[in-house]
């Protein structure tokens, strides 16, 4: 109680006024564009609305319709395939690249910059580049693959290959991020640990498997969670590179949501999809954190 009294005495009136004066512009904007929309979106998901006419209350009908919507289920499947490929590829690729870059070599700056530059290139610029690289007729990808006896492939224009082409493109664009995070973590591994392992007779693989990977586990967990969240929110690349096609072969939830809300006049249904997606992300994140924490604990 004594400490509470002391606290109260320090809370002066002027602090309340000044504190709120400082915080209020930010708080008002976040209330308006952060918190109100979260609640409003939940309300919309129980309504039928095209954003123009007055909305109608439909209860749970939007949510009930979701499992029977083939486009929604296929969007979920595409999203799962994309995530299952993008997350491990970008993280494993990022780790290996970071290990290769984690040394003093002539020209190391050039290598690092080469790996990193795609991260600052915008999505639309990346898509324009890859539509050209992956062009079925004149693209350099088919030409290079042809040199080793592969292809030609349709890439974005083939119903079987479009999703995988998006995976390759986004790995190219994102891998620099994983590299930076891993490089920072690799610098934190004490050189003595590696030397001790060498003295104990561990080879390069042994050090990688039993020293580097376990020590990087917390960072890997962070990247897994982060990449999964981003992968599930895939939109720009799909909209720009394939527009969901060919057919509906690259429909993903956010793309479908965008089509429904802003092109097909079904904003209530779209809001329901947004909330289901939010729930999926939340559950996956919690599961990854719980399982991951355990694995991190066991490996260190």
Partner 1 sequence: MSEIETLELANRADATGWPSREEEPPKHRFLFSGWHLVLIPIAVVMVIPLVWMLVTSLQTLEETRHYPPTLVPTSLQFSNYTDVLQQAPFARWFVNTLIVTVVVVIGNLLFCSLAGYAFARIRFFGRGVVFIAILATLMVPFQVVIIPTFLIVRGFGLIDTLGALMLPNLVSAFGIFMLRQFFLTLPIELEEAARIDGASRLGILFKIVLPLSGPALATLAVIMFLWTWNDFLWPLITIYSESHMTLQLGLATFQGAHQTNTNLLMAANVMSMIPVLLLFFFAQRYFIRGIATTGLKG
Least distance to partner 1 from the beta carbon of 136, Å?
11
- Considering only 58-66, 75-83, 154-162, 269-277, which stretch makes contact with partner 1 by CB under 8 A? 269-277
Q: Is 233 in the site for partner 1 (CB under 8 A)?
A: yes
Binding mask 22-41 for partner 1 (x = CB under 8 A): xx-xxx-xx-xxxxxxx-xx
Q: Is 148 in the site for partner 1 (CB under 8 A)?
A: no
C-alpha distances (whole Å) from 48 to each of 6, 52, 268, 278 are 54, 11, 5, 20
Least distance to partner 1 from the beta carbon of 141, Å?
9
Q: Is 238 in the site for partner 1 (CB under 8 A)?
A: no
- 166, 241 contact by CB (below 8 A): yes
Three-class DSSP category at 57: strand
Applying CB under 8 A, which of residues 65, 84, 92, 124 lies at the interface with partner 1? 124
- 172, 126 contact by CB (below 8 A): yes
Site for partner 1 in 55-94 (CB under 8 A): none
Q: Is 10 in the site for partner 1 (CB under 8 A)?
A: yes
What region does 12 belong to: left with phi over 0, alpha with psi -120 to 50, or beta? beta
**Closer of 85 and 133 to partner 1 (Cβ):** 133
- Which tokens sit at 20? 């709120």
- 89, 167 contact by CB (below 8 A): yes
Q: What is the sign of the dihedral through the CA atoms of 290, 296, 299 and 300?
A: negative
Q: Is 216 in the site for partner 1 (CB under 8 A)?
A: no
Least distance to partner 1 from the beta carbon of 258, Å?
8
Instruction: List Cβ neighbours of 136 (8 Å cut-off, separation of 6 or more).
Output: 142, 152, 153, 154, 155, 157
Q: Is 177 in the site for partner 1 (CB under 8 A)?
A: yes
Applying CB under 8 A, which of residues 72, 82, 86, 130 lies at the interface with partner 1? 130
- Considering only 60-68, 153-161, 199-207, 275-283, which stretch makes contact with partner 1 by CB under 8 A? 275-283
């Amino acid at each position: 109680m004594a400490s509470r009294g002391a606290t109260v005495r320090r809370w002066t009136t002027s602090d309340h006024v000044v504190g709120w004066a400082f915080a209020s512009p930010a708080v008002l904007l976040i209330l308006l564009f952060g918190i109100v929309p979260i609640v409003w979106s939940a309300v919309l998901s129980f309504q039928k609305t095209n954003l123009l006419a007055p909305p109608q209350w439909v209860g749970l009908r939007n949510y009930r319709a979701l499992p029977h919507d083939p486009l929604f289920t296929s969007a979920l499947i595409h999203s799962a395939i994309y995530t299952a490929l993008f997350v491990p590829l970008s993280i494993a690729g990022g780790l290996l690249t970071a290990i290769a870059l984690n040394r003093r070599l002539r020209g190391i700056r050039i290598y690092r910059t080469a790996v990193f530059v795609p991260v600052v290139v915008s999505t639309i610029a990346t898509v324009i580049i890859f539509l050209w690289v992956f062009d079925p007729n004149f693209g350099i990808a088919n030409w290079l693959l042809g040199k080793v006896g592969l292809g030609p492939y349709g890439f974005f224009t083939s119903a079987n290959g479009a999703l995988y082409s998006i995976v390759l493109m986004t790995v190219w664009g994102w891998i620099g991020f994983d590299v930076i995070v891993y490089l920072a973590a690799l610098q934190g591994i004490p050189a003595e640990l590696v030397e001790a392992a060498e003295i104990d007779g561990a080879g390069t693989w042994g050090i990688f498997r039993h020293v580097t990977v376990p020590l990087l586990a917390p960072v890997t967990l962070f990247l897994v969670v982060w990449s999964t969240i981003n992968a599930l929110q895939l939109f720009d690349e799909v909209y720009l590179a394939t527009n969901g096609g060919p057919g509906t072969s690259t429909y993903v939830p956010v793309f479908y949501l965008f089509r429904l809300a802003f092109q097909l006049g079904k904003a209530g249904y779209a809001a329901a999809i947004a909330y289901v997606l939010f729930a999926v992300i939340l559950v996956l994140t919690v599961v990854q954190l719980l399982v991951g924490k355990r694995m991190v604990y066991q490996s260190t």
